């Protein structure tokens, strides 16, 4: 979703043709620093204190906040302030999810399978990222106009991609009920 938000920022605002914001790349970078710092900061904070909480519940809370954030971005993305506030909410959840995902993998696989589990996590992130991105471009394409061979995106498409992100996040939240109880690393016998 953040990668597709760049299209919203950089495409021009042409009434009836393109509903982009028409920002420069520099302006977009300055505006997006806020939500990227939120994601980084919350990820660091959560990772430092994760042992105190059930990682599955923290994961679910992160997904819920992320879904709310993407839903809000779908409704409110018309200027800098709207994008900063709504994207900060989405990236608050994203930072939690990114911090907790490796802990969930390590907590459900045996110590001998941790490398395999981590590799599967990275592979699945790439796979689902590609599938969701293709879906998002289909949504954008369905809500676009073409002028002299160039497709311009309309607001319904931008809203749709963020709502797609919210829907995928809600599906992940529902599937999270199947995450088994995590192993406590301190319960494992020491190698020696």
What is the reported pLDDT for 110? 86
Bridge-based pairing of strands 144-147 and 13-14 is: unpaired
What's the CATH fold of domain 2-164? Answer: Growth Hormone; Chain: A; (1.20.1250)
How does pLDDT run across 93-110, given as a tens digit for each residue?
999 999 999 999 988 888
pLDDT band of residue 188 (cuts 50, 70, 90) is low
- What is the pTM (predicted TM-score) of this model? 0.88
Q: Tokens standing for 121?
A: 């996590």
How does pLDDT run across 146-169, given as a tens digit for each residue?
999 889 999 999 999 999 999 999
Domain ranges of the chain: 2-164
Rounded Cα distance, 184 and 148, in Å? 60
Tell me what the mean pLDDT of segment 11-16 comes to: 91
Backbone φ and ψ for 147, nearest 5 degrees, come out as -125, 120
- Identify the helix (H) or strand (E) that includes residue 140: helix 114-142
What is the reported pLDDT for 183? 76
């Amino acid at each position: 979703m953040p990668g597709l938000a760049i299209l919203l920022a950089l495409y021009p605002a042409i009434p009836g043709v393109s509903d982009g914001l028409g920002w420069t790349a520099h302006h977009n970078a300055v505006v997006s620093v806020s939500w990227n710092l939120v994601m980084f900061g919350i990820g660091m904070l959560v990772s430092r204190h994760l042992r105190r909480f059930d990682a599955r519940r923290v994961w679910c809370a992160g997904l819920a906040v992320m879904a709310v954030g993407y839903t809000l971005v779908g409704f409110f993305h018309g200027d800098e302030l709207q994008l900063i506030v709504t994207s900060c909410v989405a990236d608050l959840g994203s930072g939690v999810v990114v911090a907790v995902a490796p802990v969930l993998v390590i907590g459900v696989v045996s110590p001998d399978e941790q490398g395999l589990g981590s590799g599967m996590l990275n592979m699945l992130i790439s796979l689902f990222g590609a599938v969701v991105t293709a879906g998002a471009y289909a949504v954008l394409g369905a809500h676009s106009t073409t002028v002299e061979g160039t497709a311009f995106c309309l607001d319904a498409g931008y809203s749709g991609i963020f709502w797609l992100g919210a829907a995928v996040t809600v599906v992940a939240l529902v599937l999270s009920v199947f995450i088994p109880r995590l192993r406590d690393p301190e319960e494992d016998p020491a190698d020696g």
